[in-house]
Chains A and B, each alone.
Chain A
Amino acid sequence: MFPETGKAVVKVLERLGHTVDFPAGQTCCGQMHWNTGYQAEALPLVGRFVEQFRHAEAVVVPSSSCVAMMRDHYPKMAEEIGDRKLIAEVAELLPHVYEFSEFLTVRLGLKDVGAYYPHRVTYHASCHGLRNLGLGDGPLELLRAVKGIDLIQIENMEQCCGFGGTFAVKNADVSSAMLAEKTTAVLNTGAEACTACDNSCLMHIQGALHRQRTGVQTVHLAEILAGSEGDVL
C-alpha cells in the first residue's frame, strides 16, 4: 500500500551497509483480524510469518503496530495453536524483530543516519510504538540528527489520532472527532509534513488533511531518513 516507505527503508539500510531481503511470500501480520475479534482468521498468519523470516538475522518492520502485534500476541497465538515447534520458533524469532526506528537506535545504536531533509516537520507518536514498544524519544532523536530539518513539537504528541483499525469505520463519528483534534494540532505547528513510525496513523491523518485541502503532507519516518543531499526535493 505504501511502496515509498518500503523503498526508503531499503535505501537507509543499504546506505548503512546492510543487505536487505524481502521474502516474497509475506503478507500481513494479522493485526486487523486479531484486534477486531477474529482470532481464528489471525492464527494461521503466525506460522506464515515464521516460515518467511526464520533465517533472517534481523527483521525490520516499518510499522510499529505490526511489531506490537507480533510481540504482544504471537507467543499467545502460538500457544493457542498448540504447536510446540511453532511456540519455540516464535520465541526464537521475536527478539530479532525490530521496528524500523528501533532497529536504528537500539540495535545499531545510531542517532545520525546521514539524512538530509530541508523541511518543516512535526512528529506524531503512534500509540503502539509509544506504549507497546516503548520507543520513547528514539524517533525524535533520529529526526533531530537530520540535516536541514526544522522539527516542530506538536501539542499532545502522545494522543491517539483515532485510527484504531476498524475503530475508524465502526465508530466513525468518535474517530473523526479524535482525528479533528490531531489535525488541528498538526496545522497549529505550521509544518509542511507530519511524520510517524506507522503508516496506518499517517494514512488516517493524511485522509483528513487532504479532505480539508490543507496541503500538508504525511511522510513515514523512513522516507525522511532516506533523504539525501543529492535528492531533488
Chain B
Amino acid sequence: MNSENSVLDPKTSPTFPIAARATLGDTQLRKNVRHATEVIQNKRARVVAEMPDWQQLRESGRQIRQHTMANLETYLEEFERNCIRAGGTVHWARDGEEAKRIVTTLAKTYASQQNPEVIKIKSMTTEEIHLNVALEAAGVKAYETDLAELIIQLGHDQPSHIVVPALHKNRQQIREIFQREMNLPELGEKPQDLADAARKFLREKFLRVNTAVSGANFLIAETGGVCIVESEGNGRMCLTLPETLITIAGIDKVLPRFEDLEVMLQLLPRSATGERMNPYNSIWTGVHAGDGPKNFHVVLMDNARSEVLADSEGRQTLNCIRCGACQNACPVYRQTGGHAYGSVYAGPIGAILTPQLQQLHHAQSLPYASSLCGACYEVCPVKINIPEVLIHLRNKVVKQKGPLNPEALAMKMAGTLFRSERRFRAAQRLGRFAETPLVRRDGSGDGWIGWLPGLLGGWTQVRDLREMPKETFRDWWEKRGKRGN
C-alpha cells in the first residue's frame, strides 16, 4: 500500500512552464487549491489582524533566525551536547542518502523483527529525501499518520503544500481513496466521517507499532529539546507511545534558547493555519524515565543547507520556518497548485529552496515561476525577501546558461540600446518599422498586434499588443519645448 511509484524530484521533473500547463488544465484541482488557499488566507488575515505587535514579532523572528544562522556551528554543538546529556543519541548526515541509511538502520534495529513497521509524523524533511521509498526498499513499512499525509500515501499521490499536503483533493476524492484502500465501501463523504475512518484505521497502529519517525519544527540548543506543532494528536501519539523515536531534522531547524519559542510559537500557527495556537505543541528533551520513548535518536541533516549558508544573498532562505503562508498568498501557486513545482517544496519557498538544495541546473525554471508581485514577502513571518532571492537565483541561472542562447543575446542587445540615447531613439523608430507587417487596425482605427514570433509568442496567446506610438513622448516633448508654448 505504501509503494510510491513516482516521487516529486527536480532531477526528473519537467520544467515549471510545462508542468504548469498540465495542472492548469485540471479544473477540479484548481478549484480545490483555490478554495483551500482562500480559506487559509482569510483565517490568517483575521488572526494576524488581532495582533497589534505582529510586525514587531516578525522583526524579532527575523533577527532570531539570522542570529542563529550566523552562529549555527555553536548552536548545533550546544544542541548535540544537551540532547546527549538528556539521554538522546545524535547522528549527522551530510546528505539525504546518509540520512536515509541512518534512519533505515535504526528502524531495522528497533522495529519488530518479524514485521518491521514504523509510524510517521508529517515531515517535509523526510519528504525531501523520499525516506519512505528507502524504508520500503529496506523492508520497513511506514505508516503516515497525519490525515493529509495518509490521504497522499493511500492515494499514491504526492504532497502539494508544505502544511496542508492534500489540499488539492476534495472530500469526494478522499472518500474514494479511503473506500478503496481501507476497504470501507459504505463510507460517507462528510469530513467528519472521513476523519473518523482515519481515527479507526490509525488507532490500532498507534497502540501496536513500537517505532516512530518524526521531523522537527524546532531544536532548542539551550536545552537539547525538540518542539513539534500539530493539530490532530497523531504527533503526540507517535512521540509518546512507541519505545523508539527517530527524529530527522535539517541543521537549519535549531533555535538558540527555550524562550525563543515565545516568538516562533506566535508567528508559526497564525501564519500556517490561521490558528492562534496549534491544537497541540509538544516539547521534549532526550529521554524521560517513565514518559515516552526509551530510545531517542536525532539525525541532523545538512543536504546542501551549508552550501546555501555560504551564499550571502541566498542564505536568508534558511530562516524559513515552513509555515506555508507564502504558498497561500502566491497568485502563481494558486493557479497551478504544488505539483507543477516538481519538488515537495512548492510555491515561493519552493522556488527559492529547491534550486538551492538541488543543484541549480536541476531546477532552472523555478526562479522564474514568479511574477515578483511580493505577496510572499508581505506575509512571511520571518521576513524572507523572497523576490530578492528569486532575482539573485535568476542571475545565477543566466550565468550558468552562458551568453549564447537567444534570450541572452536579446537581453544583451536591449542593454546596448538602453545605454545610449541615440541607439534608443533609433530602436524606437526601427521598432515601428519592424512591427508594421504585424499590425492590424481595429474598429476605431487603432493598430494592434495579435501575433508575435518566437519567445514573444507567449504574450499573444491571449493578449493583443498595441502598436508603438506614431509620435513618442520624446518627439512630442521636443516639438513642444520645455516651457510648453
A5 neighbours in B (Cβ, 8 Å): 473
Instruction: Give CA–CA (A45, B331) in the complex, Å.
Output: 31
Task: Please tell me the number of chain B residues within 8 Å of chain A, measured between CB atoms.
Answer: 65
In the complex, the answer to whether A174 meets B17 with C-beta atoms within 8 Å is yes
Contact pick for B473, options A6, A128, A130, CB 8 Å: A6
Contact pick for B418, options A2, A28, A72, A166, CB 8 Å: A28
Given contacts A48-B419, A131-B374, A177-B335, contact A171 B17 (CB under 8 A): yes
Please encode chain B, from 101 to 129, with 1 for each CB lying within 8 Å of some chain A CB and 0 for all others: 00000000000000000000000000000
A131 neighbours in B (Cβ, 8 Å): 373-375, 377-378
Name which of B153-161, B342-350, B451-459 contacts chain A. B451-459
Please encode chain B, from 458 to 482, with 1 for each CB lying within 8 Å of some chain A CB and 0 for all others: 1101111110110111111110001
A-B contact pairs, 22 of them (CB 8 A): A1-B468, A22-B477, A24-B478, A27-B424, A33-B414, A35-B391, A44-B415, A45-B418, A48-B419, A127-B375, A158-B375, A162-B331, A166-B368, A168-B459, A171-B17, A171-B369, A178-B332, A179-B462, A180-B462, A203-B466, A210-B464, A211-B463
Nearest CB in chain A to that of B336: its residue: A174
Nearest CB in chain B to that of A30: its residue: B418
Cβ of B442 under 8 Å from chain A: yes
Cβ of A53 under 8 Å from chain B: no
Q: Which of B389-419 contact A (CB under 8 A)?
A: 391, 393-398, 408, 411-412, 414-415, 417-419
Nearest CB in chain B to that of A14: its residue: B484
In the complex, the answer to whether A37 meets B371 with C-beta atoms within 8 Å is no
Contact pick for A132, options B374, B397, B414, B477, CB 8 Å: B374
A159 neighbours in B (Cβ, 8 Å): 331, 375
Instruction: Give CA–CA (A170, B370) in the complex, Å.
Output: 10
In the complex, the answer to whether B472 meets A3 with C-beta atoms within 8 Å is yes
Q: Which of B368, B373, B456, B476 has the most CB of A within 10 A?
A: B373
Instruction: Give CA–CA (A132, B388) in the complex, Å.
Output: 12
Instruction: Give CA–CA (A42, B416) in the complex, Å.
Output: 10
Given contacts A25-B421, A131-B378, A173-B24, contact A163 B473 (CB under 8 A): no
Secondary structure of the A side of the interface? helix
Contact pick for B394, options A14, A37, A130, CB 8 Å: A37
8 A-B pairs with least C-beta separation: A164-B371, A172-B458, A207-B463, A37-B394, A41-B415, A160-B373, A6-B473, A37-B398
Contact pick for B370, options A1, A24, A164, CB 8 Å: A164
Please encode chain B, from 155 to 176, with 1 for each CB lying within 8 Å of some chain A CB and 0 for all others: 0000000000000000000000
- Cβ distance A227 to chain B, nearest Cβ, rounded Å: 18
B471 neighbours in A (Cβ, 8 Å): 3
A179 neighbours in B (Cβ, 8 Å): 462-463
B304 neighbours in A (Cβ, 8 Å): none
Given contacts A36-B398, A208-B462, contact A178 B335 (CB under 8 A): yes
Given contacts A174-B335, A207-B463, contact A32 B374 (CB under 8 A): no
In the complex, the answer to whether A27 meets B419 with C-beta atoms within 8 Å is yes
Instruction: Give CA–CA (A32, B408) in the complex, Å.
Output: 12
Nearest CB in chain B to that of A183: its residue: B462
B83 neighbours in A (Cβ, 8 Å): none
- Cβ distance A131 to chain B, nearest Cβ, rounded Å: 4
B457 neighbours in A (Cβ, 8 Å): 169, 172
Instruction: Give CA–CA (A166, B458) in the complex, Å.
Output: 10
A210 neighbours in B (Cβ, 8 Å): 442, 448, 463-464, 466
Q: Which of B34-70 contact A (CB under 8 A)?
A: none
In the complex, the answer to whether A127 meets B463 with C-beta atoms within 8 Å is no
Task: Please tell me the number of chain A residues within 8 Å of chain B, measured between CB atoms.
Answer: 65
Contact pick for A207, options B17, B464, B482, CB 8 Å: B464
Instruction: Give CA–CA (A28, B411) in the complex, Å.
Output: 13
In the complex, the answer to whether B408 meets A38 with C-beta atoms within 8 Å is yes
B397 neighbours in A (Cβ, 8 Å): 37
Given contacts A32-B414, A203-B466, A207-B459, contact A175 B419 (CB under 8 A): no
Instruction: Give CA–CA (A192, B333) in the complex, Å.
Output: 31
Tell me the B residues contacting A by CB distance below 8 Å.
16-17, 20-21, 24, 331-332, 335-336, 367-375, 377-378, 388, 391, 393-398, 408, 411-412, 414-415, 417-421, 424, 442, 448, 450, 455-459, 461-466, 468-469, 471-478, 482, 484
A26 neighbours in B (Cβ, 8 Å): 421
Q: Which of A111-125 contact B (CB under 8 A)?
A: none
Instruction: Give CA–CA (A24, B377) in the complex, Å.
Output: 36
- Cβ distance A132 to chain B, nearest Cβ, rounded Å: 6
Given contacts A38-B398, A210-B448, contact A177 B421 (CB under 8 A): no
In the complex, the answer to whether B412 meets A41 with C-beta atoms within 8 Å is yes
Instruction: Give CA–CA (A6, B478) in the complex, Å.
Output: 13
Contact pick for A10, options B335, B458, B484, CB 8 Å: B484
Instruction: Give CA–CA (A211, B440) in the complex, Å.
Output: 12
Cβ of A220 under 8 Å from chain B: no
A180 neighbours in B (Cβ, 8 Å): 462
A195 neighbours in B (Cβ, 8 Å): none
Contact pick for A27, options B371, B417, B455, CB 8 Å: B417
Cβ of A231 under 8 Å from chain B: no
B395 neighbours in A (Cβ, 8 Å): 37-39
- Known A2-B473, A21-B482, A207-B465; further 9 A-B contacts with Cβ < 8 A: A10-B484, A25-B421, A34-B391, A41-B412, A127-B374, A160-B373, A169-B455, A170-B368, A203-B465
Instruction: Give CA–CA (A217, B62) in the complex, Å.
Output: 43
In the complex, the answer to whether A168 meets B394 with C-beta atoms within 8 Å is no
In the complex, the answer to whether B368 meets A171 with C-beta atoms within 8 Å is yes
B17 neighbours in A (Cβ, 8 Å): 170-174
- Cβ distance A45 to chain B, nearest Cβ, rounded Å: 6
Instruction: Give CA–CA (A20, B481) in the complex, Å.
Output: 10
Contact pick for B462, options A6, A39, A176, CB 8 Å: A176
B393 neighbours in A (Cβ, 8 Å): 37
In the complex, the answer to whether B371 meets A167 with C-beta atoms within 8 Å is yes
Given contacts A1-B469, A162-B331, contact A36 B476 (CB under 8 A): no
Contact pick for A165, options B372, B418, B419, B469, CB 8 Å: B372
Cβ of A7 under 8 Å from chain B: yes
- Cβ distance B456 to chain A, nearest Cβ, rounded Å: 6
- Cβ distance A160 to chain B, nearest Cβ, rounded Å: 4
Contact pick for A171, options B16, B378, B394, B417, CB 8 Å: B16
- Cβ distance B361 to chain A, nearest Cβ, rounded Å: 14
- Cβ distance B459 to chain A, nearest Cβ, rounded Å: 6
B474 neighbours in A (Cβ, 8 Å): 22, 24
- Cβ distance A127 to chain B, nearest Cβ, rounded Å: 4
